[in-house]
Amino acid sequence: MNVIWFRRDLRIDDNPALAAAIQSGPTRALFIATPDQWLQHDMAPIQVDFIERHLNLLAKQLSQYNIHLDVLVSTDFNQQTAVLKQYCLEHQVENLFANEELELNERLRDKSVTDSGISLHLFEADVIVPKGQVVNGKNEMYKVFTPFRNAWLNQLRNLGIGLAPHPASLLTNTDEPTVQPMIELTANKQCSKKWPLADVVLKKVLPDFIETKHADYKQYRDFPAQKGTSGLSPYLAIGAISPKRLVIEVLQHNPHLLEDPKAELFCWLNELAWRDFYKHLLFHEPNLIKHRNFQDKYDALNWPNNPDYFEAWCQGKTGYPLVDAAMRQLTTTGWMHNRLRMVVASFLTKHLLVDWRLGEQFFMQHLIDGDFSANNGGWQWAAGTGCDAQPYFRVFNPITQSEKFDPDGSFIRKYLPELNDIPIKHIHLPQSYLAATGQLNCYRDVIVEHKQARATALDFYKHQLGST
């Protein structure tokens, strides 16, 4: 008996471990819930619910090929080896198949499983171009995105994209699928039903995006009040949709897309390249999982970490409408627009001088699309501590960002209804208008003044790093 062990690869499409298991003989499927580990890793309750819903979809899809999905529970990764050994004994498992996970605890767990005598076969299913394959002339990982992207593109052009065989090409679809009981994960959960399941996304949402929104993605992607993005990051984060599948689908509509990375149509694919970039980076730099700055010189930073500032940021009470609306979007919906992630990250680290790691953790605790490599990479980029980072002397201005990307205040009004009646010309910094109209209690004052905060941040970085 073979077993496919699902982790963050909750799909049957383009799943190399599943295909290999089926090709090796009769197969069962397994998922091991680890609620204590999820808490340790700051997994958001909305992502737990999203995983539960996709486990039920996965069980239904597998049952069509007479593959039964077992769901077991272990408190954490340390207990998973014992749970697996017992399971393998009960079902006379000869080979265990899984898709590898990058993070340190996950790697140590897999080593423990192998050391225990279980025959574990690992595959790669989380990137478009294989990790370790995009390197510079010194056989090292690129430290800047653009040359990585160019080399990444060359790989795609020269080698193409191959998908793992679908179960339908390997097994006969049964007319009477096996009955699978409802799966319920015992963990703190937040409803994720506003996000459709991956099968609906692949059939309807993705084709609609490619046909009607992809051409305008570059033009509208930075405006949070508009639905200009694809909204696919939650599915990539739990592996419910293959990143390779996305590239193939978009290339079918735009076969020349790989030829010119400067073309407007390439912009969306460029975001998938960024995702690969951060996963390749973690592959080469596993110590990033240990909360370390990518650039060692930033270890000297002694962050003030004002707790009142951090709490105001978390609650969306900074006095800057775009920042506050973004944070309320995150805490109420479990998602935040990408442009706003950069704005609020810059604000926390450079206006408030709060350690990026606190923001990174808060994001993971709330994001439905929480993914360590992307989240870590984005935060270190904003703080100026990471690979291909935003230099410390560049500070996002929350007022001009608001004026540019939410010009009429539509996004702000959606998440800050207390500002509904503020005229457009005052919506981006309403305090003077509120004072003049006797409405000071409507909204709080700014916790830091932008120009002064920027000057303080530059002085902080300069003196802490001993640079000029």
Where does 2-123 sit in CATH, by number? 3.40.50.620
Band of pLDDT at residue 230, cut at 50, 70 and 90: very high
Region class of 179: left (phi > 0), else alpha (psi between -120 and 50), else beta: beta
- The predicted pLDDT at position 300 comes to 86
Question: Average pLDDT of 225-232?
Answer: 94
Instruction: Please state, rounded to an integer, the average pLDDT across all residues of the chain.
Output: 95
- The predicted pLDDT at position 180 comes to 77
pLDDT in tens, 66-113: 999 999 999 999 999 999 999 999 999 999 999 999 999 999 999 999
Q: Are 374 and 341 in contact (CB under 8 A)?
A: no
Band of pLDDT at residue 177, cut at 50, 70 and 90: low
CATH number, domain 126-163+199-284, options 2.102.10.10, 3.40.50.300, 3.40.109.10, 1.25.40.80: 1.25.40.80
Round to whole Å and give the CA distance between 44 and 76. Answer: 16
**369 is annotated as contributing to ligand binding:** yes
**278 is annotated as contributing to ligand binding:** yes
pLDDT in tens, 128-151: 999 999 999 999 999 999 999 999
Contacts of 293 (CB under 8 A, 6+ apart): 299, 301, 380, 385, 386
**381 is annotated as contributing to ligand binding:** no
- The predicted pLDDT at position 329 comes to 98
CA angle in degrees (0–180, nearest 5) for 337-58-270: 35
pLDDT at 467 over 70: no
Q: Are 428 and 401 in contact (CB under 8 A)?
A: no
Round to whole Å and give the CA distance between 316 and 340. Answer: 13
What is the pTM (predicted TM-score) of this model?
Answer: 0.96
Round to whole Å and give the CA distance between 404 and 248. Answer: 34
pLDDT in tens, 349-403: 999 999 999 999 999 999 999 999 999 999 999 999 998 878 888 899 999 999 9
Question: Average pLDDT of 308-334?
Answer: 98
Tokens of 234: 């939650």
Task: List, by residue range, all CATH 3.40.50.620 domains of the chain.
Answer: 2-123
Cα dihedral sign, 338-343-349-352:
negative
Band of pLDDT at residue 468, cut at 50, 70 and 90: very low
Cross-strand bridge partners of residue 227:
none
Round to whole Å and give the CA distance between 23 and 273. Answer: 31
Task: List, by residue range, all CATH 1.25.40.80 domains of the chain.
Answer: 126-163+199-284
CATH superfamily of 296-462: DNA Cyclobutane Dipyrimidine Photolyase, subunit A, domain 3 (1.10.579.10)
- Closest by CA position to 63, among listed 173, 202, 197, 200: 173
Task: Tell me how far the alpha carbon of residue 462 is from its chain's centroid.
Answer: 32
pLDDT at 435 over 90: yes
pLDDT at 259 over 80: yes
* pLDDT higher at 387 or 2: 2
Question: Average pLDDT of 416-424?
Answer: 96
**171 is annotated as contributing to ligand binding:** no
* pLDDT higher at 463 or 369: 369
pLDDT at 178 over 90: no
Task: List, by residue range, all CATH 1.10.579.10 domains of the chain.
Answer: 296-462
**H or E stretch covering 21:** helix 16-24
DSSP secondary structure, 117-159, as one string: T--EEEE--S-SS-TTSS--TTS---SSHHHHHHHHHHHHHHH
**357 is annotated as contributing to ligand binding:** no
**433 is annotated as contributing to ligand binding:** no
Residues annotated catalytic, as ranges:
271, 274, 303, 338, 356, 379
Tokens of 440: 């000071």
**272 is annotated as contributing to ligand binding:** yes
pLDDT in tens, 268-305: 999 999 999 999 999 999 989 888 999 988 998 999 99
